[in-house]
Amino acid sequence: MSNEVSRREFLEVSAATGALFLAEGPWWGRAMAQGAFAIPEAERIVVTVITDNLADATRPNVKIARRPARTMNVLDGAMHGEHGLAYHVETVVGGQAHVLLFDFGSQAAGVLRNIELLGLDLRKVEALALSHDHWDHEAALLELLQAKRAAWRPDLPFYVGEKFFVGTYSKRPTGQIQTLSILNRAELEALGLVKLVEVTTPTPLVPGACFTGRVERVTDYETIPPTFLAKQGDQYVQEEFIGEQAVVMNAKGKGLVVLSACAHRGIVNTLKHAQKMTGIEKVHAVIGGFHLTGAKPEVIAKTIADVKAMRPDHIVPTHCTGFEAITAFAKEMPDQFILNTAGTQYVIEA
């Protein structure tokens, strides 16, 4: 299939789903219930974790995971790990490859190093997407854009969720309130490199990958800690993370591939939302942060039970999932579990 045909089909899907976005209220609810959002099947998906909390040069390839190639000089090939998360995502639809970057980590020097070590060609990037307005997912972005200015396509679309730039905060044990937001809209737009796109509903990013839109909360145990705050006028109120996005893909013959960042609204809620919005029940792979660090054991147990009931083929908890939850997933879902490390590529092929 030619680039022209692939692009035309993508625009047709976008136009169809765009028509759904214009209809609000009960009509949209009915459309979602019917699984109206069609994601083109991808015959190949490659998710590269540019950086994550764990870097480990000794892990072997396993299942769909391909670890970074070792070099003769181990220091030259050492991957950077940090408290942050960044993804490079490639989909192949109709024989044509499409690339997006989803989240950007916190330490620009380390993120740039890993991009070079992994041989990722930023000239192929068709879209940028950011899950939510927290420093560990966005702090490296401005420096990355500047450092690789010559690589970016003109007016590169940059997708964010609703109310993205209003700011998000955390209340510390001392009572001090500190901002968790780093990215400045004025500085971003001043670069003249990206075109900001704010989404509220399921939205195509590149052919074969889309944002979730607002994730509906249906579980009773996936609650947002009261330490997360948003500002409403002069008052601080409970943060609801209504704009946080995940990426959903449709692997040909295998099912959904869901890529989360922190899943503050709940990884089970996110998966149920992906199933509902697409009408596809089968979940092939779940990769990302589940924000279970510090969670009560009963919350971790309920989360694992509900994820297990969906029978995913692969489960890859990253970033903010937390040691206790990661080890619990490994124990309860050993056949599906994969330990993530910075630089790992997850290759899914029809």
What CATH number corresponds to the domain at position 240?
3.60.15.10
- pLDDT tens-digit series, residues 4-61: 334 444 444 444 444 333 333 332 343 344 467 999 999 999 999 999 999 999 999 9
Residue 328 is assigned to a structural domain of this protein: yes
pTM of the predicted protein model: 0.90
Confidence tier at 252 by pLDDT (50, 70, 90): very high
How many structural domains compose the chain?
1
Higher pLDDT: 18 or 258? It is 258
Residue 350 is assigned to a structural domain of this protein: no
Confidence tier at 3 by pLDDT (50, 70, 90): very low
Residue 253 is assigned to a structural domain of this protein: yes
Which range is least confidently modeled, 8-12, 37-41, 85-89, 174-178? 8-12
Question: What percent of the chain shows pLDDT beyond 90?
Answer: 86
Q: Are 278 and 302 in contact (CB under 8 A)?
A: no
Q: Are 67 and 343 in contact (CB under 8 A)?
A: yes
Instruction: For residue 213, give its domain range.
Output: 3-341
Q: Are 287 and 277 in contact (CB under 8 A)?
A: no
Residue 24 is assigned to a structural domain of this protein: yes
147, two tokens: 């450092």
What is Dmax (Cα atoms) for the chain? 60
Quote the pLDDT of residue 73: 79
Residue 164 is assigned to a structural domain of this protein: yes
Residue 348 is assigned to a structural domain of this protein: no
Average pLDDT over residues 262-284: 98
Residue 290 is assigned to a structural domain of this protein: yes
Residue 14 is assigned to a structural domain of this protein: yes
CB atoms within 10 A of CB 294: 12
Q: Which of 152, 32, 36, 132 is nearest to 84 (CA)?
A: 132
Quote the pLDDT of residue 24: 33
- pLDDT tens-digit series, residues 207-248: 999 999 999 999 999 999 999 999 988 899 999 999 999 999
